[in-house]
Amino acid sequence: MRDMWNSSLYFIMTSVGAAVGLGNILRFPYLLSKYGFLFVVFYVVFLITLGLPLLATETAMGRMYRQGCVGCMKQISQKGSFLGFAMLNNSLFIMCYYGALFSFLLLMTFFAFKIPTLSSSEIDTFFYDITGYTGGATTPFAVIFLIIAWSVVCFCNGSAKRLGTISSVSVIFSFVLLLVLAVSGIMSTPGQVAKIFEINPNLLGSPQFWIDTAGQVLFSLSIMVGVMFAYGSFLKKSENIIKSVSIIAFVDLFVSLLASAIYLSVIKDGIVDFNSITTGFSVYPAAITSLTDSPFINGIIIFLFYLSLSLLSLDSMFSYLKSITVCIQDKFNISEERTTIVLSVLGLLVGFVFLGKGGLARMSGVDNLVCNFLLLIVGLFEVVIISKTGNLEDIRNEINLNSHRLKYPKRMFYLSINFLCPIAFIVLLILNI
């Protein structure tokens, strides 16, 4: 018997926590500053035609079959379980390097009040020096915080109700902080933030624009990694799926826009060469220290900023871990506690690969492999198997269950799953290659 969510609010908050991560805080603002308002327009188009139908489908299948991605895919095709394991493989890859990123965020939170006392040049290199990336040797701080990060994940992970409580607190805290910082940024530098509304029609002829826009949608909602199958399996039959996933998609976009307002207000040049490590751990702290003349106030802002990112990263870690533990529990009847401990130890050991000399390059390589190839390949096979061997009408009925007004139109759903999604995956794969 599965431990159901207390309410749809817990499901929404936990799913938002899984979806909202560093991609929303760092990559989305960078792409918006690079492409302007057209990026937002077509992001919404791809969100409706690609992201939302997959988000709803995975959630509905999880609730229909009360299993993780392996069991769900096997239900619609005897050969589909291999695809479920491929999704778990994606989750495992992401979980391992996300653990290292989570440890970096905890480290920056710990040193938040030290950063404003440093000179500009010292702030630029502080993260690299304290983790040992500059000298090539892993520092004790990097090791200690990696151990702390995985200990927190192992200790805090638990039942659906427990994750719902933790996610509700972390999402609300992060949302309020980002909202305050965004409003402050808009009021202090309205000209910078106004760049969101700039339109450049020439972008429509740029293949990179379409890759970045569609890719950001597909990689932002925790789909194709087994997470939504797992979370859907804990959702009560009385809950409204289409309403819940619509809220998740909207909040995910809204948080990204809030982060964009913050990004544009503190990055005075508007655009910096994108690198999540450089932007997240060097550019942001340097920019925040210039917000006021008080090192203490700047320290508080840096502390709260990295604390919020840490909480969002923790939620993402829970989601990847949950997608794996649910499938293992379903298939082998091994307790979730034991599986969590084993996976946490594995994640800790693999995490050392991303420390020290060459660690950042290895992290970037794994991230590119997963996001630019593995997720797209899994997504392509997923929609093909579901459209060819699954009963799309049963899935759509499950999505629309308990929905009186907001229902998923049949033609739009069939068009997305049968044609738009597979075409998008094939095009993105070809362009990335």
What average pLDDT does this structure show over 13-39?
A: 84
Task: Give residue-wise pLDDT tens across range 212-263.
Answer: 898 888 888 889 999 999 999 988 888 899 999 999 999 999 999 988 888 8
**Can you read off the two tokens belonging to residue 128?**
């690299």
Instruction: Please report, as a single letter, which amino acid is at residue 327.
Output: C
- With contact defined as beta carbons under 8 Å apart, do 84 and 226 qualify? yes
Dihedrals φ, ψ of 124, to 5°?
-60, -35
Tens digits of per-residue pLDDT, 251-309? Answer: 999 999 988 888 877 765 555 555 566 677 877 887 788 778 899 998 998 999 899 88
Mean pLDDT, to the nearest integer, of 332-359?
89
Domains and CATH numbers, the chain: 8-432 (1.10.4160.10)
Q: Which two tokens stand for residue 131?
A: 């983790």
What kind and span of H or E run contains 109?
helix 81-110
Contact 418, 387 (CB under 8 A): yes
Write the pLDDT tens digit of every residue in 130-157: 888 877 778 899 999 999 999 999 888 7
Mean pLDDT value of segment 56-80:
92
What pLDDT does 268 receive? 57
Element (H, E) at 261: helix 241-266
Ranking 17-21, 197-201, 275-279 by mean pLDDT, the lowest is: 275-279
CB 15 within 8 A of CB 235: no
Q: Is the pLDDT of residue 1 over 60?
A: no
The pair phi, psi for residue 328, each rounded to 5°, is: -65, -40
